[in-house]
Structure 1
């Protein structure tokens, strides 16, 4: 009976041997695959670590670059501010150097003869009907601007410097009061002698001045380049056209029915 049991057990082992071999093979396969997966994971971890290190380095460089950009932007803004101050000072100095000057446009060539100062000192009081300046007006210097290369070109501008700034203002006031100024039936015009920078700044107000004119709002230019606006007995000074645009919009809101900007 015991021998029979042993025989049966041996037979069962024999029958299960392929299964055991298959299980062993599966374990070996799983082990090999697991080793491969673990190796792949280790490789990926290494690559991810290297990638993270590169990302961190890149972030540090970007952060440093951003800090540099912020510093440079602040420096540029500071330099722009200083440059604006210097530019304004230069324009102001040039305006002061020209404050006693006037320009005379369209005066025929050679009308002044050999002595432009003497000619203008006599002609200006007579043409503008300013008896108070007779035998009193004194010019420091007067001359034409530029060279005349084409005889058919318009007359060169005459520029003059007054000894007394009060006399210059008297002349300007008389010019504004006179509708037309003639020299031998030829229209001539006086203008302040403005520096190029001031003239450019004043030209920036041309569009808003036109809008003020169409709305019947009084205005005037203050040297070097400020717009003086009077509305409802209130006077305001503007240093840039954008502020004037905003002022006009406020007026339009107060007066419905008027044409907007």
Structure 2
């Protein structure tokens, strides 16, 4: 009998549960729950769509910004390209201007080149003419000098001593003072115009009949050195043309030093200086060569 109350209690609990299930499973509740589920799904879908749309918009904005950057870069490159093209255009115009100027100057350049070639040819011809002139001059001097080979000059005889017979007077003087007998003078005369009494007497130029007589007189006079006529010193000299005398005068300093040192020296025709020094013979074609030896002599003397 005691178990029946438990069973009655459990029966009430079971009845309550069934009542609740029955309530939930009613048609109204099911519809509401379905509607709620649909709303939840819609809201979820809308949220998803909004999120996707935002991402799409962000991507589009990024693309727009990229396009703007690209457009800015393109504009900068186009501006730079235009600048470069402008510089190229200016250089092309400058080159065209230079080409145009060159084309205008071409005739003048051709004329200038022709003138330069003509000047070069004239210079070459002038150099050739100068060389030929120098050769002709040397030959002329040699020819005239050969005509003077038999001539001697005499300086220091007072004016009027020769009287009328100049050749006889000089032949006698040579025989008496130079002691060279039997010489024949072909012709002789004073040099230059008559001078005043206060001026030194004019010299003589004499031409011997043969070259040997002239050489005998010249050498004998050179050996005698101090020859006097009525107390006045006279001297004989080779008859030389003015250009040759000029050339020999350039050796004057060297000759003076050689005389001071008592060295034997003299000239070979036309103007070559000969020297004997310490047993050696020297030939000087120019004063520079002679002065070079003089410097060596002076240095050697300084060491001694």
**TM-score bracket, shorter-length normalisation:** 0.7 to 0.9
**2:275 partner SS:** strand
Task: Check if 1:90 corresponds to 2:140.
Answer: yes
Which residue does 1:237 correspond to in 2? 283
Which residue does 1:116 correspond to in 2? 166
What CA RMSD, in Å, does the superposition of the two structures yield over aligned residues? 4.1
Matches of residues 130-209 of structure 1 in structure 2 within 5 Å?
130=180, 132-133=181-182, 137-148=183-194, 150-209=196-255
Alignment gaps of 5+ in structure 1: none
Alignment gaps of 5+ in structure 2: 1-45
**1:93 partner SS:** helix
Q: Which has the higher contact order (CA 8 A, sep 6+)?
A: 1
1:202–1:259 CA distance, 2 compared to 1 (3 A): farther
1:212–1:66 CA distance, 2 compared to 1 (3 A): farther
Of residues 160-169 and 3-12 in structure 1, the stretch that sits farther from structure 2 once superposed is 3-12
1:62–1:227 CA distance, 2 compared to 1 (3 A): farther
Task: Check if 1:259 corresponds to 2:302.
Answer: yes
Residue 216 of structure 1: how far off its partner (Å): 5.0
- Pick the structure with more helix per residue: 2
**1:258 partner SS:** helix
Determine the C-alpha separation between the residues in 2 that align with 1:232 and 1:192.
28
2:227–2:235 CA contact under 8 A, matched in 1 = yes
Residue 72 of structure 1: how far off its partner (Å): 7.3
Of residues 81-90 and 61-70 in structure 1, the stretch that sits farther from structure 2 once superposed is 61-70
**2:82 partner SS:** helix
Task: Check if 1:35 corresponds to 2:78.
Answer: no
How many pairs were matched up?
Answer: 248
Residue 13 of structure 1: how far off its partner (Å): 4.6
TM-score under structure 1 length normalisation: 0.73
